[in-house]
Amino acid sequence: MTTTSIWQRILAYLDAAGQAVRKSLEPRAPTDTVAFSIAFIALAAKMAKADGIVTRDEVTMFRRVFDIPPEEEANAARVFNLCRQETTGFEAYARQLSNVLPRTPSGDTLRQDVLDGLFHIAVADSKYHPAESAFLRRVTEIFGLSDDIYLVLRARHVPALRDPYRILGVSTDVSLDDLRAVRKQFVRENHPDQLIANGLPKEMIELANARLADFNDAYEEIAKIKSGSRIHLQGREI
């Protein structure tokens, strides 16, 4: 039996609709992977254009975020170009994507995953343009997510603003025990199987892997600082 890829299903859906891409973003069941994927791709295309030009680096990052196998690159490129050419503003896409998802913790997790993917694309060219910042802040607002989530993602993705404490969501006086507890909870909530169960398309699981790697880097950085401080204090006590 031949398996139809998500890209073939997306194209079939768009072709059947025979209308603008935005018509494919009408509210659907949260488990509708095609609807979610189209919505994300449309936002990614708009994100790539936010600073006025779509660079090769941004397109390459889109391919990494959405894990496109070589045999599906042509189909994926067609979907991306269809979404990029649609004239609807990004705010409409953000609202429609948010409407696809339920107002539940798992739905908000998917909204964060989308925002995470958009950050990847925004900084793919090693720049963080003011227009991209405004775009991402507005998407955060439309998604109903807190500004702190935006700041955490910005701290992860923008090198000049990187802050390991904000990435982990802990204060500078966090204890090693509390730090370990935060790590345990993060790993549990961001396990690939859990994210897929929440509705994240398996094609976007690379987002979870990158997020875990960034989290672990920040964790190790803080743990080293805390371990060094404890050794220093113990030395003084002796």
pLDDT band at 20 (very low <50, low <70, confident <90, very high): very low
Looking at the chain, the whole-number percentage of residues with pLDDT higher than 70 is 79
Residue 83 lies in a domain: yes
The whole-number pLDDT of residue 6 equals: 63
Residue 79 lies in a domain: yes
Residue 149 lies in a domain: yes
Residue 33 lies in a domain: yes
The whole-number pLDDT of residue 86 equals: 59
Range of the domain at 57: 6-167
pLDDT band at 15 (very low <50, low <70, confident <90, very high): low
The whole-number pLDDT of residue 156 equals: 93
pLDDT band at 194 (very low <50, low <70, confident <90, very high): confident
pLDDT 10s digits, 69-106? 777 777 777 777 777 665 567 888 788 788 878 888 88
Residue 232 lies in a domain: no
Residue 132 lies in a domain: yes
Residue 112 lies in a domain: yes
pLDDT band at 115 (very low <50, low <70, confident <90, very high): very high
pLDDT band at 1 (very low <50, low <70, confident <90, very high): very low
Q: How many domains does the chain have?
A: 1
Whole-angstrom Cα Rg for the chain: 20
The whole-number pLDDT of residue 214 equals: 92
The whole-number pLDDT of residue 196 equals: 80
Summarize the confidence of residues 28-38 as an average pLDDT.
60
The whole-number pLDDT of residue 27 equals: 45
Provide the mean pLDDT of the chain: 79
Residue 24 lies in a domain: yes
The whole-number pLDDT of residue 199 equals: 76
